C-alpha cells in the first residue's frame, strides 16, 4: 500500500478549485476528488505490523480543530514536469499538526520525511515548454482566496493507479479528540 497523510477538502472547496482549471492546453489536471493538502507522505507499506503501528500512532494525535484558508496560485518546479498549485496559508496550528503527524510516524518506525513541509494543493502538471501559459494562469488566479474551512480530522489515503491515473482512496480518518490532553507546541 502506498500511503500518505493529508487534510481532505470539503466538496464546495473541491468544486471551486475544479472551476479554476480552465483550458490550458497540455496540462494534466488533477481530478477534483484527488484534491487534498498533504501533511506527510509515508510511502510503500507492506508489513501489517507497521500498518498497525502507524494506525496506533495517528490515533493518539492531540489537537483542536482550527480553520485554514487557501490563497494564491503558484508554480512548483519538478524533475520531469512542473505543477500548478493553490497555496495554503500557514498557521501555527497547521504547522503544529503537521509536526505531530511527523513525530507520530517516526515513533511508528517510518523514516523522516524527505521533503520540507510546503502546504499546497496541486491542481495540474505541465511541461517546462508550457511555462508562459502557466505564468498567465497564475496571474489570473493570484488573488484567489478561499473562505476559511474547518480542520477537524486527518486522513490516511492510499494512492493507487487506475487506467493510468492516480486514485486516492481514504483508508482511515483520525478526528480530533477533545478528551485527549493537548501536547504542548514546540517553540
Specify the pLDDT at position 41. 96
Specify the pLDDT at position 182. 55
Active site residues: 36
Specify the pLDDT at position 83. 95
Specify the pLDDT at position 187. 44
Note the pLDDT tens digit of each residue in 128-162.
888 899 999 999 999 999 999 999 999 999 999 87
Specify the pLDDT at position 161. 85
Count of CB atoms within 10 A of residue 35's CB?
A: 22
- What the chain holds in terms of domains, given with CATH numbers, is 2-175 (3.90.1140.10)
Residues 179-184 have a mean pLDDT of: 56
Whether the per-residue pLDDT at 122 is higher than 80: the answer is: yes
For the chain, the average pLDDT equals 91
Specify the pLDDT at position 179. 63
Note the pLDDT tens digit of each residue in 8-63.
999 999 999 999 987 777 899 999 999 999 999 999 999 999 999 999 999 999 88
Asked if 153 contacts 65 with a C-beta cutoff of 8 angstroms, the reply is no
Contacts by residues 50-56 (CB-CB < 8 Å, ≥ 24 positions apart): 50/108, 50/109, 50/110, 51/1, 53/107, 53/108, 53/109, 54/3, 54/105, 54/108, 54/110, 54/156, 55/172, 56/108
Note the pLDDT tens digit of each residue in 54-94.
999 999 998 899 999 999 999 999 888 899 999 999 999 99
Specify the pLDDT at position 24. 78
pLDDT > 70: what percent of the chain? 95
Whether the per-residue pLDDT at 186 is higher than 60: the answer is: no
**pTM of the full predicted structure?**
0.89
Whether the per-residue pLDDT at 181 is higher than 50: the answer is: yes
Amino acid at each position: 500500500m502506498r500511503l500518505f497523510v493529508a487534510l481532505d477538502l470539503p466538496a464546495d472547496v473541491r468544486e471551486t478549485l475544479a472551476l479554476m482549471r480552465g483550458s490550458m492546453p497540455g496540462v494534466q489536471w488533477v481530478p477534483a476528488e484527488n484534491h487534498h493538502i498533504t501533511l506527510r507522505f509515508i510511502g510503500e507499506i507492506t508489513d501489517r505490523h507497521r500498518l498497525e503501528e502507524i494506525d496506533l500512532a495517528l490515533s493518539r494525535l492531540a489537537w483542536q480543530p482550527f480553520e485554514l484558508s487557501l490563497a494564491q496560485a503558484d508554480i512548483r518546479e519538478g524533475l520531469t514536469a512542473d505543477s500548478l498549485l493553490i497555496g495554503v496559508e500557514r498557521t501555527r496550528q497547521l504547522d503544529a499538526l503537521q509536526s505531530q503527524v511527523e513525530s507520530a510516524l517516526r515513533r511508528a518506525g517510518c523514516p523522516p520525511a524527505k521533503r520540507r513541509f510546503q502546504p499546497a494543493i496541486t491542481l495540474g502538471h505541465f511541461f517546462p515548454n508550457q511555462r508562459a501559459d502557466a505564468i498567465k494562469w497564475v496571474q489570473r488566479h493570484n488573488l484567489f482566496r478561499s473562505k476559511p474551512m474547518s480542520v477537524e480530522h486527518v486522513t490516511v489515503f492510499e494512492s493507487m493507479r487506475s487506467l493510468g491515473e492516480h486514485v486516492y482512496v481514504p483508508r482511515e480518518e483520525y478526528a480530533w479528540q477533545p478528551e485527549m490532553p493537548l501536547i504542548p507546541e514546540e517553540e
